[in-house]
């Protein structure tokens, strides 16, 4: 007799998900996320099988969810589960022979054909006898099952009445408590659930030195401070943003300091790039990643800034940029952390054709342990000041193992700390960073602008990589001003914000976007007079008064996000057809069993991605994807304007790029009125 291990099981269960491309790491979700669990379950022959998801929360509560076939003939089963507790969940899938489903299928065919009628009724009655004898089933259910068994055996009953028992509604009892002789449990799997902010947030970025900065009579600049930047927090909160990301707030190097527009000849008083970390403090000594630029204020000022933001419902995210200016204390104290060239100089950073003479990249090969200890010290220092979110600059230029260890060490003691990877690089590295620990990732969203590109991209991030990589759809950054925004006018800004805010649960805006800042530095994909190299105070109030601001619309979008739980999910986006290649149509649907009020929530977005034209077309909706029966008529409400229309499967839309380039529609259901 063979002694080899058999893994198949009597009812095979294969291809389970959530799962990662590499089994060394675990899939993850965020608190409140609805996650589809899937498996292939099948058997030999033609008898029916079933599948049950068995999932256990971190506190030990077990739930059982009957799985449904995703499509006939696929053997692919799915059940959705709301993961509402932070921590590690365990789960497995049980495949079983579904005796009742097999009997009902066979009995319907044979009885209708007049074949083995009495035999089929007796087979069903005996199954019901077995089920009724199960003391775990409710007494009322057992009584009804016995009555059905008696009815099946009653050969004198009317033919139609006896036949109807095969489809009796009481047999739905077997959906939750199936009848099976054979079963196979898959191996136990785990999924890590992180706090909600790891997956849901509206981010806003500004440079605190620009907020309150002013030019003096002698032409020089006085920097904004944390105290003056605090005044901008009310405007950020009014737009509904709940994460404020600050570029580096540390001392800036003097050596090779960059001037306006990345020039090599700064004038006296030019502030330099915040990413050239390490420079003089107020007392003349050098400060690094654990220090605050003296122009911005003190550590107490920073803590006050964080507290004020928190009082407004805003978390502060801090930049973690592992690089140094030539004036950083590390250069003197740890030369082994840098690359020394044959001529004795230290190699500065390059990303051809870009050159960063004011920055030394870190060499992680000579003292990896020392670097890990120092960076963890820095991260924990800022955690003590109230920071629980870190936006990591260019993590793809550092070793993957470093991030796995750092994030693992931090999250082992503080699982609420969130790391966002700013890695615009090859897919393999972007995805690997997410697998080893990064809770969020920048993505290629900024460069996906056509209908075809957006459908492909959003399908990928919501389906293919959703088990481990959460996209944050930033519409612009200090480094990125795409041609779409440069030449698309206000319509382009409106469309990009609409899609970013509704297509994924995390999105972001860099200050100035709401003012339609669109002029690029010649030959570059970034704004001219870039804020990375100079002060850039903005008069937001005047722009709003004069109608030159998108701030009100951004606030509306964030209010819509807060009001509609369907938009707080990543994996539920579905695309629909339109007769115009410039009109993008998608929906986000969440079943009532997952919403706070118990009602289905559905948002439909229709966007004209051509910012230069008026588009009139017909859109065609898959009603099943939004929880409606084929042929349904229903009401949609534009959540921006309040207008309502009666819709069906095919609907006329007119989207004017110059007035209203997008609809954000809510499907009105019953008491929504």
Residue 479 annotated as catalytic: no
Q: Rounded CA gap, 304 and 23, in Å?
A: 44
User: Residue 67: which residues within 8 A CB-CB, separation 6 or more?
Assistant: 37, 39, 41, 50, 51, 52, 53, 77, 78, 79, 93
Q: Rounded CA gap, 625 and 628, in Å?
A: 7
For residues 67 and 604, the answer to whether their CB atoms sit within 8 Å is: no
Question: Is the peptide bond prior to 464 cis by the omega test (within 30 degrees of 0)?
Answer: no
CA-atom Rg of the chain in angstroms: 30
Q: Which of 295, 422, 600, 610 is catalytic?
A: 422
For residues 86 and 193, the answer to whether their CB atoms sit within 8 Å is: yes
Backbone angles phi, psi at 649, to 5 degrees: -75, -35
The reply to whether 367 sits in an annotated binding site is no
User: Residue 442: which residues within 8 A CB-CB, separation 6 or more?
Assistant: 420, 421, 422, 423, 424, 471, 472, 474
For residues 341 and 303, the answer to whether their CB atoms sit within 8 Å is: no
Of 189, 187, 176, the C-alpha closest to 64 is: 176
User: Residue 436: which residues within 8 A CB-CB, separation 6 or more?
Assistant: 25, 400, 403, 404, 407
Q: Rounded CA gap, 654 and 666, in Å?
A: 17
The reply to whether 116 sits in an annotated binding site is no
Residue 365, SS3?
coil
Q: Rounded CA gap, 609 and 615, in Å?
A: 10
Phi-psi region of 627 (alpha: psi -120 to 50; beta: other; left: phi over 0): left
Q: Rounded CA gap, 521 and 2, in Å?
A: 73
Q: Which of 33, 65, 374, 393 is catalytic?
A: 393
Strand partners, 585: 606
For residues 100 and 64, the answer to whether their CB atoms sit within 8 Å is: no
For residues 353 and 346, the answer to whether their CB atoms sit within 8 Å is: no
- Look-up of token digits 């969810």: 65
Nearest-10 crossing angle of helices 400-413, 368-384: 40
Would you state the structure tokens that stand for residue 289, as one six-digit string?
């990643």
Question: Is the peptide bond prior to 442 cis by the omega test (within 30 degrees of 0)?
Answer: no
Of 97, 102, 48, the C-alpha closest to 72 is: 48
The reply to whether 358 sits in an annotated binding site is yes
CA dihedral (348, 353, 354, 356) in degrees, to 10, reads 20
The reply to whether 533 sits in an annotated binding site is yes
Q: Rounded CA gap, 62 and 56, in Å?
A: 4
Would you state the structure tokens that stand for residue 152, as one six-digit string?
């099946």
Residue 376 annotated as catalytic: no
Binding region:
258, 323, 358, 394, 532-533
Binding region for alpha-maltose 1-phosphate:
258, 323, 358, 394, 532-533
Q: Which residues are catalytic?
A: 393, 422
């Amino acid at each position: 007799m063979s002694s080899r291990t058999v893994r198949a099981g009597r009812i095979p269960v294969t291809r389970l998900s959530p799962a990662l491309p590499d089994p060394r790491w675990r899939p993850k979700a965020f608190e409140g996320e609805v996650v589809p669990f899937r498996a292939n379950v099948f058997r030999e022959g033609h008898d029916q099988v079933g599948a049950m998801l068995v999932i256990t929360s971190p506190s030990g509560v077990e739930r059982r969810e009957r799985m449904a076939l995703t499509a006939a003939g696929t053997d692919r089963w799915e059940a959705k589960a709301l993961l509402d507790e932070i921590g590690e969940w365990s789960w497995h899938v049980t495949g079983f022979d579904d005796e009742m489903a097999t009997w009902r299928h066979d009995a319907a065919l044979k009885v209708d054909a007049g074949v083995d009628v009495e035999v089929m009724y007796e087979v069903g009655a005996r199954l019901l006898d077995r089920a009724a004898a199960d003391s775990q089933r409710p007494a009322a259910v057992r009584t009804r099952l016995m009555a059905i068994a008696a009815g099946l055996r009653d050969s004198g009953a009317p033919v139609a009445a006896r036949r109807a028992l095969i489809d009796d509604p009481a047999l739905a009892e077997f959906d939750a408590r199936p009848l099976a002789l054979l079963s196979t449990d898959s191996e136990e799997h785990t999924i890590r659930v992180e706090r909600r902010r790891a997956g849901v947030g509206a981010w806003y970025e500004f440079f605190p030195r620009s907020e309150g900065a002013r030019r003096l009579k002698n032409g020089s600049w006085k920097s904004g401070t944390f105290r003056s930047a605090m005044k901008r927090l009310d405007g950020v909160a009014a737009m509904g943003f709940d994460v404020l990301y600050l570029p580096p707030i540390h001392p800036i190097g003097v050596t090779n300091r960059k001037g306006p527009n990345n020039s090599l000849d700064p004038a006296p008083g030019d502030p330099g790039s915040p990413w050239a970390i390490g420079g003089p403090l107020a007392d003349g000594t050098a400060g690094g990643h654990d220090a605050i630029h003296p122009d911005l204020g003190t550590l107490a000022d920073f803590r006050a800034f964080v507290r004020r933001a928190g009082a407004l419902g805003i978390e502060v995210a801090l930049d973690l940029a592992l690089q140094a200016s030539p004036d950083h204390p590390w250069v003197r104290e740890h030369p082994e952390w840098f690359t020394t060239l044959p001529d004795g100089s230290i190699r500065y950073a390059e990303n051809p054709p870009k050159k960063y003479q004011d920055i030394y990249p870190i060499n992680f090969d000579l003292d990896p342990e020392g670097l890990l200890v120092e960076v963890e010290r820095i991260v924990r220092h800022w955690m003590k000041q109230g920071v629980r979110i870190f936006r990591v600059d260019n993590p793809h230029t550092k070793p993957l193992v470093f991030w796995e260890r750092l994030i693992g060490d931090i999250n082992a003691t503080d699982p609420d700390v969130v790391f966002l990877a700013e890695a615009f690089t090859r897919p393999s590295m972007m995805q690997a960073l997410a697998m080893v620990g990064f809770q969020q990732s920048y993505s290629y969203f900024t460069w996906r602008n056509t209908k075809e590109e957006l459908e492909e991209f959003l399908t990928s991030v919501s389906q293919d990589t959703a088990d481990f990589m959460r996209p944050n759809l930033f519409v612009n950054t200090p480094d990125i001003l795409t041609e779409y925004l440069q030449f698309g006018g206000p319509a382009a800004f409106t469309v990009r914000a609409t899609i970013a805010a509704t297509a994924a649960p995390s999105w972001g805006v860099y200050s100035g976007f709401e003012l339609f800042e669109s002029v690029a530095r010649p030959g570059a994909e970034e704004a001219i007079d870039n804020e990375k190299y100079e002060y850039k105070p903005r008069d937001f109030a005047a722009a709003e008064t004069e109608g030159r601001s998108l701030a009100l619309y951004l606030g509306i979008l964030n209010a819509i996000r807060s009001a509609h739980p369907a938009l707080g999910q990543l994996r539920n986006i579905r695309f629909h057809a339109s007769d115009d290649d410039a009109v993008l149509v998608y929906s986000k649907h969440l079943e009532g069993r997952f919403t706070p009020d118990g009602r289905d929530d559905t948002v439909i977005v229709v966007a004209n991605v051509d910012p230069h034209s008026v588009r009139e077309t017909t859109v065609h909706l898959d009603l099943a994807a939004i929880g409606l029966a084929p042929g349904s008529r229903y009401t949609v409400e534009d959540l921006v304007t309040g207008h309502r229309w009666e819709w069906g499967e095919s609907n006329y839309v007119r989207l004017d790029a110059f007035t209203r380039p997008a609809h954000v529609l809510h499907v009105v259901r019953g008491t929504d009125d």
